[in-house]
Amino acid sequence: MFRKILLPLDLDPKHHRAVDTAIALAKHADGEVTLLHVIESIEGLEAEEDKDFYEQLEAASRDVLKKFHEQLEHAGVRAHWEICYGKHSAEILRHIGEHEIDLIVLTSPRYDPDHPQAAAASLSWKLGVVSPCTVLLIKNAE
């Protein structure tokens, strides 16, 4: 059963279906959900060099994560959130290992036959291939 669920989120509002799925799975298994947002580090730009830029990103991230966190708590699911800096896939994989995650629930882009290579470049595809735990891809509604 999936008791430790990781839900990586960006700042796009498309994640409602993935959040709803994580809620249902966590309630079924008396599990907990970690909301994770990775702020992508920009090569050559250190946090100290453009502190205001990174502070704005972190504030926006907190707002999004708090909103989804409230939704999880309102549904009766134990949840917490974390913001970290680095490369998306590397930080998510690090988090999986450090926290013994059982399942990743990810919003996945819909397949576009006009741009088939886009799917292979997505974070969901990359994590689906290399993740040491189960990955559940939720197609966004768009």
**CATH at 31:** 3.40.50.620
Q: Is the pLDDT higher at 120 or at 59?
A: 59
Q: Is the pLDDT higher at 80 or at 50?
A: 80
Q: Where are the alpha helices (DSSP H) in 1-142?
A: 16-29, 51-74, 88-99, 117-120, 123-130
Residue 83 parent element (H or E): strand 78-86
Please tell me the total count of domains within the chain. 1
The answer for residues whose C-beta is within 8 angstroms of residue 20's C-beta and 6 or more apart is none
CB 127 within 8 A of CB 29: no
Q: Which domain holds residue 121?
A: 4-139
Using 50, 70 and 90 to split pLDDT, how confident is the model at 35?
very high
**Whole-prediction pTM:** 0.89
